[in-house]
Every structure is written in structure tokens, then in C-alpha cells.
Amino acid sequence: MQIPNPDNTRQLELWHSYQRAKGKNGWLTLVQNIRNYSYFIRQLVRISFLKEFKRSYLGLLWLFILPIISAIIWILLNGAGIIKPGDTSISYPAYVLLSTSIWGFFVEIYKNTSNTFLAGGKMKLLARFPYEAFIVEKVIVHILRFVIPFVINIIVLLLFGVRFSWVALLFPLTLIPLLILGLSIGLVVSIFRVLLDDVAIFIDQAMGFLMFLTPVVYAPDIQIGFLSQLIHLNPLTYLVGFSRDVLIKGTFYEPGLWSICVLLTFIFFVITVRIFMIAEPRVIERLIK
């Protein structure tokens, strides 16, 4: 073997090692990675929207057409007298419509991120790029996919005489904790999805059940025996309830408990991002594609 000149060796810098894998994952690196790969993230977002409609003529227009169709169905239901506009308090169907879309906002980001490794495809085995790019892409796609139908829904509600207070303008901000919580759970479950699918399957089921423990299709003060206790222990009761009341009533639902839940959500997020970054290399080498 050729022995390199020691002077020559000294010019080299460490590029890759086991210790480096563990040490590289600071928050600063995370932000830098996202900035350096912003064009890659844009491409991923683009692909994600385009690939779905590649075989259609209308293409991205479907993103608008589909919610308009469901709005029309909603209007027809309204004509049938199921919805009573102009009431002082919002009607039950409108309540459920808004409530479920808030819940959907939480649960969809969970679903998307928890599948990130399996959906990421072969790309990660081709080049060295930060895996976080896929997560950022998921978040951007998720927000865009939520905003379009949501805005259309709101317009329809306004046309039908539902009135919102100015406090409702705070609504987008109240979605942030829900996004962060769904994302955090998704990050942890994405690891299990590859290494220990049993846990992932179990949590998927639990998320379905969780919807019934959260006042989404019923009001928070419902009396259903011991389940009422669970509802009050469920942080999502406060996170979803706060968002919904801001939007519908222009009031703040349990602001004290909500603030505690928000704080805990952010702490949970910091921990799960760290876990995700530590686990990522071990997960990637176990992706059999």
C-alpha cells in the first residue's frame, strides 16, 4: 500500500465517521441543511403535487375543483333545510364541518410524516442529502392541501350567512400547536414504521380512537360516563377546542390549560426531533428497497 506523505495527510478533514454521525445533528445544522437544500425541497413539493395529476388534463385545477364540488353538495344539503343559516350560534353541520377539518389538519400531518421513510423511495440510497428535506416537504404540502379547501369552505359559510368574529383571524396561529404535535408523533412513529411496525400499526389505530375522545363531532361538555374524564385529560380537547372556538365563537376555550398543552407540545417536539435525527442513519440502512 502506498504510504501517504504526512504533510499531505494533515490537509485532510474528517468527512465521515460513526462519532460524526452522532455529533452532526445540532439544531443549527438542521436549519443550515434546510436552507442549503431549499431548491431540493421545492422540487419535492412540486413533484408531490404534479405526480398525482400527471395523467389528467385539468391537472392542478383538481385541487380547487374537488373542494368546490363538496361545497356544492353542502349547499344542496343546505337547501334541503339541514343547515339553518343566520342563527346566533353556528349550526350543527357547520360545527362538524369546521371541527373535522381542524381534526383532519392534525391527523393528516401525522399520517404523512409517519410514512416518510417508506414513501421516501430509493432516493436516500443515491446521494448524501439531509433527510429533513422530506419532512419539510411533507409539512409544506400538508399546509397547501389544507388551505385550499378550507378557504373555499369558509367562503361558502360566509355566503350562507355564517358570521365570524375578528378573533377568527387568529385561527391560523392556533393551528401551529396542532401541526407541531401531529408532526412530533409522526416523526417517532416513522421510525417504528420501519423497525417495529407493530407499534406503528397500534398507534395508527389509537389515533382513530383518539378522535372519539376529542370533542370533534360532539360538544366538549358532553356527558358520557367515565369517557368524560378521559376527554378532560386529553390535551387534544384543549388544542382542538381552542382552535375551533377562536374560529366559530371568537372566544378562547380554557386558555390556561391550552397554554400548558402548547408548552408541552413544543417540549415534546424538541425531544422528538432530536430522537429522529439520532435514529435516522440507523433507519436508513434498514430500508430494504
Partner 1 sequence: MVEKKLILSVRNLYKKFSRDLKYNLYYGVRDIFFDIMGSNQQRTGLRPKEFWSINDISLDLFAGDILGIVGTNGSGKTTLMRIIAGIYYPEAGTIHKLPKKKVTAVFVLGAGLRPLFTGRENIYIEGAMYGMSKQEIESKMTFIEEFSELRDQLDRPLGNYSSGMRARLAYAIALATEPDIFIIDEALAVGDSLFQTKCFEHLKQYVQQPEKAVLFVSNHIRKVLKIANRVLVMNSGQIIYESTDVKAALNFYINNCLQDLDEDIRQVKLKKVKNYNL
- Which of 35/89 has CB closer to partner 1? 35
Residue 200: name the closest of 133, 132, 110, 109 by CA: 110
Binders of partner 1 among 193-232, rule CB under 8 A?
A: 194-196
- Nearer to partner 1 by Cβ, of 21 and 211: the residue is 21
Nearer to partner 1, 80 or 288 (CB): 288
Which residue stretch of 4-12, 96-104, 138-146, 249-257 sits at the interface with partner 1 (rule: CB under 8 A)?
4-12
50 sits near partner 1 (criterion: CB under 8 A): yes
Does residue number 281 form part of the binding site for partner 1 (CB under 8 A)?
Answer: yes
Q: In terms of CB distance, is 39 or 166 closer to partner 1?
A: 39
Axis-axis angle for helices 38-52, 132-159 (nearest 10):
50
- Distance linking the first and last C-alpha atoms of the chain: 36
Query: How many Å apart are CA 247 and CA 166, to the nearest integer?
Result: 9
What's 58's DSSP letter?
S
Stated as kind and residue range, the H or E segment containing 186 is: helix 171-195
Using CA atoms, how far apart are residues 179 and 199, in angstroms rounded to an integer? 22
35: Cα within 13 Å, side-chain hemisphere: 6
Distance CA 239, CA 234 (A): 9
56 binds partner 1 (CB under 8 A): no
Residue 286 touches partner 1, criterion: CB under 8 A: yes
Q: Is 68 in the site for partner 1 (CB under 8 A)?
A: no
Of 34-42, 210-218, 227-235, 239-247, which part binds partner 1 (CB under 8 A)? 34-42
Query: Does position 2 bind partner 1 by CB under 8 A?
Result: yes
80 forms part of the interface with partner 1 (CB under 8 A): no
Q: Please state the closest distance from residue 289 (CB atom) to partner 1, in A.
A: 9
> How many Å is the maximal CA-CA distance in the chain?
87
Which of the stretches 35-43, 203-211, 242-250, 258-266 binds partner 1 when contact is defined by CB under 8 A? 35-43
Indicate whether 35 belongs to the interface with partner 1 (CB under 8 A): no
The set of cell numbers assigned to 22 is 452522532
Candidate list 26, 60, 165, 282; residue touching partner 1; CB under 8 A: 282
The answer to whether 45 contacts partner 1 (rule: CB under 8 A) is: no
The three cell numbers locating residue 287: 430500508
Instruction: Tell me if 42 contacts partner 1 by CB under 8 A.
Output: yes
Q: Are 157 and 94 in contact (CB under 8 A)?
A: yes
Q: Are the C-beta atoms of 93 and 75 separated by less than 8 Å? A: no
Residue 155: which residues within 8 A CB-CB, separation 6 or more?
none
Cell of 68: 368546490
The amino acid present at 200, given as its one-letter code, is A
Looking at 34, 71, 168, 275, which residue binds partner 1 (CB under 8 A)?
275
- Please state the closest distance from residue 134 (CB atom) to partner 1, in A: 11
CA 2/CA 6 separation, integer angstroms: 12
Residues forming contacts to partner 1 in the complex (CB under 8 A) are 1-2, 4-5, 8-9, 11-18, 21-22, 36-37, 39-40, 42-43, 47, 50-51, 54-55, 121-129, 191, 194-196, 275, 278-279, 281-286, 288
